[in-house]
Amino acid sequence: VAAPRTREQRRADALAILGAGEADVWVATASADGDASLVPLSLGWTGERVVLVTESRSPTARNVIASGRARMAAGASRDVVMIDAELETATPLADGPADALERFATQSGWDPRPMADADAYLVLVLRPIRIQAWREANELAGRTLMRDGAWLD
Amino acid sequence: VAAPRTREQRRADALAILGAGEADVWVATASADGDASLVPLSLGWTGERVVLVTESRSPTARNVIASGRARMAAGASRDVVMIDAELETATPLADGPADALERFATQSGWDPRPMADADAYLVLVLRPIRIQAWREANELAGRTLMRDGAWLD
């Protein structure tokens, strides 16, 4: 097993995972009555915000709008970046934030804007509150890289 | 993009993913007040049940005991097996079901039984109710392989 990485190294690695082309993210949300949803979605990362595009009628969209939050995982199960985030904006695709959508399309390789049924989709912009990263059990200590929306030194 | 697989092929591929050595699974659960939890855990697959081992005080353990259910993802985001399951048993590690624990230890490469703090852990046995598998968007149709606990023909 490799030695645990420094916080600085983990942050650099986490940003590389979040910014990678065609990255996916596991998105977990909960309904008001305690039902968990989990789906893989294409990831857009602006450097500060997570950008997702999903159908308005999906459980993810419904839950994140109702609860205002989501828990996400990027990377692999043994090289993970966990993100607890709060919803900043949920906008119909046609009115979506241009910079965020441009970044999403470039990074994911999927531009949803020209879709025939684009009006069935929402753009979700989420603000990370807590970010954690670890590989193996020896990295569970020190896994928190961001707390209350601020990167730790 | 490859042609969509047959249901028969998807089922064989899904069983291979679930039975693979050192496989991990993403486990999403919800608290009663609508907070989503998501963690990667080592996977045990008996052929019919999912076996997990986690700390009794973890959100996953608390939520799955309270709600009786979990949603899990195995495989990769573009070769995924999604499992909606209900909790069958939650047992302290020392009293855990021997066959399930033996399978878990063999498959995962991690035998939790000799741990010094074994009494802090629970064995969760979950019964799949619905299993879905897809790779790309062209496999979303026909993704359901098991419904109401029964494999579809």
Give this prediction's pTM.
Answer: 0.96
Given this model, what pLDDT does residue B91 score? 97
Given this model, what pLDDT does residue B151 score? 98
Give residue-wise pLDDT tens across range A39-64: 999 999 999 999 999 999 999 999 99
**What residues form DSSP beta bridges with B80?**
B75, B134
Nearest Cα of chain A lies from the Cα of B67 at a distance, in angstroms, of 7
Interchain contact A120–B (C-beta under 8 A): no
Whose CA is closest to A27, among B19, B80, B37?
A: B37
Question: A24 vs B82: CB contact, 8 Å cut-off?
Answer: no
Could you tell me if B67 and B78 are in contact, meaning their C-beta atoms sit under 8 angstroms apart?
no
Whose CA is closest to B142, among B133, B151, B150?
A: B133
Question: B38 vs A73: CB contact, 8 Å cut-off?
Answer: yes
> Which residue type is seen at A17?
I
Host H or E run for residue A10: helix A7-19
Question: B38 vs A82: CB contact, 8 Å cut-off?
Answer: yes
Give residue-wise pLDDT tens across range B76-100: 999 999 999 999 999 999 999 999 9
Nearest to A34 among B24, B26, B30 (CB): B30
| Portion of chain B with pLDDT greater than 90, in percent | 93
Model ipTM?
A: 0.94
Mean pLDDT of the region B58-62 = 97
Given this model, what pLDDT does residue B78 score? 93
Could you tell me if B145 and B152 are in contact, meaning their C-beta atoms sit under 8 angstroms apart?
yes
What is the distance between the alpha carbons of residues B58 and B70, in angstroms, rounded to a whole number? 14
- Integer CA distances (angstroms), B141 to A74, B7, B134, B137, in order: 25, 11, 9, 8
Given this model, what pLDDT does residue A1 score? 81
